[in-house]
Amino acid sequence: MRQILAVTIMFCLSMFGCPKGAYHSAVVAEHAFKSGVGAFQKAEIAEYQNGRISVEEHHRIEAGIEKIGTSGIILVNAMQNGAANPTISADLQLLIDSTTALMNDGVLGVKNPNSQAILKASLQTAQAVLSNVQEELNAAAPVAAKP
């Protein structure tokens, strides 16, 4: 059931259009992140189906993916609605925190070292994309005038 929910969340993320304007580059980067998480999920499912990840590990990882999906929807909605930069930054931090939690609570808890290495590399790629989103948002933020 969580698999279906996580895939549904990721599909919903893909249905959002990119706004034109200050946050366009950040939304484009977020779409790349979404693709990275989708690739991570496919790798995790393959490892699970091949018996290299336990049911408990699988459920823990799927719960983390669900949190990432929810955080991603919040971020994309904020960007599309033209929310203020502090709001978008807070929403991005929630997504970063969700991704870090997935790494710490899910991936690093996988007992099979080969599976853990595959998932870790995949998630680190998605985390690198999030760094790009953060850079794009920082670049889009208005610079305060110096007194």
pLDDT of res. 23: 64
Backbone angles phi, psi at 21, to 5 degrees: 125, -155
pLDDT of 85 > 60? The answer is yes
**Span 101-107, mean pLDDT?**
96
3 compared with 82, residue with greater pLDDT? 82
Question: pLDDT band at residue 1, thresholds of 50, 70 and 90?
Answer: very low
Question: pLDDT band at residue 33, thresholds of 50, 70 and 90?
Answer: confident
pLDDT of res. 114: 97
Task: Give first-to-last CA distance, the chain, whole Å.
Answer: 56
Alpha carbons 102 and 139: distance in angstroms, whole number: 27
Q: What share of the chain is helix, strand, coil (3-state, %, to 5)?
A: 80, 0, 20
Residues whose CB is less than 8 angstroms from the CB of residue 20 and which lie 6 or more positions away in sequence, other chains included: none
Ordered domains of the chain (ranges, CATH): 2-14+23-138 (1.20.1410.10)
pLDDT of 87 > 70? The answer is yes
**Nearest one of 97, 83, 64 to 26, comparing CA atoms:** 83
133 compared with 101, residue with greater pLDDT? 101
Task: Please state whether the predicted TM-score (pTM) of the whole model is above 0.85.
Answer: no
